Amino acid sequence: MNHTPVVFIHGTWLHPLSWESWAERFASRGFLAFTPGWPGEAVAVREMRKSSETLAGTGLDVLTDHYAEIVQSFEIAPVIVGHSVGGLIAQHLIGANIGRAAVAIAPTPINDIPLPASPARLWTPGRADDTEQLVSLTPEQFHRAFANTATAEESGRLFERYVVPTSRRLLADLGYAGAVRSPRAVVDVGNANRGPLLLISGQEDLLVPDSVTRAVYKEYGDSTAVTDLKQFADRAHSLIIDSGWRFVADYVLGWLDECGLRAYPA
């Protein structure tokens, strides 16, 4: 019996391990769960912290092409689930008719929708020749801006298990701190033939505020393709890894079922 694949795409400052609970949950429902990392990512978080130079030049174009190739490699078109920049990539792919459906969780904004200034000053643009460098978070920055609804103890555990440096070039491509956003952040919001799309926001998210995700949702207003929005109260950017992750994952599973996207396609 064939199983529907689900490809999970993680976002900035997180390791693919951040999807471990989701992968197990989806697998228990019969889906084939895949959590492929970015090109050059080490398997272990500790290795990534020690030697992550291979990610230094990774930009949005590299990531988008990387995941497009993965999604197109399956005989059965996968569901794409992305968080943060992974949510942007998920939208880009489904807008290009790559994949069966997409879920974008706290997605980095698309097209011309601006991001607010980072509340923790996580990154500021460097020199033009400084795009090969990496950007790391301290545990305090992570708690203040990423896991702001978690306790200090939980935030510390999440940091130790999942947080890794990210690419300065990628942050520039996403338009952080006033940098010029990459053309790869453009999504075809008018495609009426794409698969269903679910947008998810956390209403206490400081990195990608609920207002930003609602603005993204409005971008799809003229499309007849299925586009839904779910807002989770009292949830931050860490909503896929913190103690409330199961509520979000189960909502996604329920939404897929409502869309007729089963683990065992007919």
Q: Measuring CA to CA, which residue among 27, 58, 109 is closest to residue 37?
A: 58
Give the pLDDT confidence score for residue 12 in this predicted structure.
Answer: 94
pLDDT per residue as tens, the chain (266 positions):
589 999 999 999 999 999 999 999 999 999 999 999 999 887 778 777 776 667 777 899 999 999 999 999 999 999 999 999 999 999 999 999 999 999 999 999 999 998 876 655 565 555 444 545 888 899 999 999 999 999 999 999 999 999 999 988 899 899 887 788 899 999 999 999 999 999 999 999 999 999 999 999 999 998 999 999 999 999 999 999 999 999 999 999 999 999 999 998 76
State whether CATH 1.10.1740.10 applies to domain 5-258. Answer: no
CA distances from 147 to 24, 52, 189, 203 (A): 22, 23, 30, 13
Give the pLDDT confidence score for residue 45 in this predicted structure.
Answer: 81
Q: Measuring CA to CA, which residue among 102, 78, 79 is closest to residue 89?
A: 102
Helical residues (DSSP H) of 96-151, grouped into ranges: 139-141
Give the pLDDT confidence score for residue 142 in this predicted structure.
Answer: 95
For 51-84, letters b (16+ CB in 10 Å) and e give ebeebbbbbbebbbebbbebbeeeeebbbbbbbb
Give the pLDDT confidence score for residue 127 in this predicted structure.
Answer: 45
Burial class (CB in 10 A: 0-12, 13-18, 19+), 226: middle
Give the pLDDT confidence score for residue 100 in this predicted structure.
Answer: 97
pTM: 0.94
Q: How many whole angstroms separate alpha carbon 60 and alpha carbon 39?
A: 12
Q: Measuring CA to CA, which residue among 236, 249, 242, 15 is closest to residue 106?
A: 236
Give the pLDDT confidence score for residue 204 in this predicted structure.
Answer: 97
Q: How many helices (H) and strands (E) would you count in the chain?
A: 9, 8
Domain ranges for the chain: 5-258
Give the pLDDT confidence score for residue 131 in this predicted structure.
Answer: 46
Question: For 132, which DSSP code?
Answer: T
Chain centre distance of CA 216: 14
Give the pLDDT confidence score for residue 115 in this predicted structure.
Answer: 81
Q: Measuring CA to CA, which residue among 63, 67, 35, 39 is closest to residue 53?
A: 39
Pull the structure tokens for residue 151.
Answer: 């306790």
Give the pLDDT confidence score for residue 125 in this predicted structure.
Answer: 52
Give the pLDDT confidence score for residue 44 in this predicted structure.
Answer: 78
Give the pLDDT confidence score for residue 51 in this predicted structure.
Answer: 66
Give the pLDDT confidence score for residue 124 in this predicted structure.
Answer: 55
Q: CB under 8 Å to 18, separation ≥6 — which residues?
A: 10, 83, 162, 240, 241
Pull the structure tokens for residue 59.
Answer: 């930009």
Give the pLDDT confidence score for residue 121 in this predicted structure.
Answer: 59
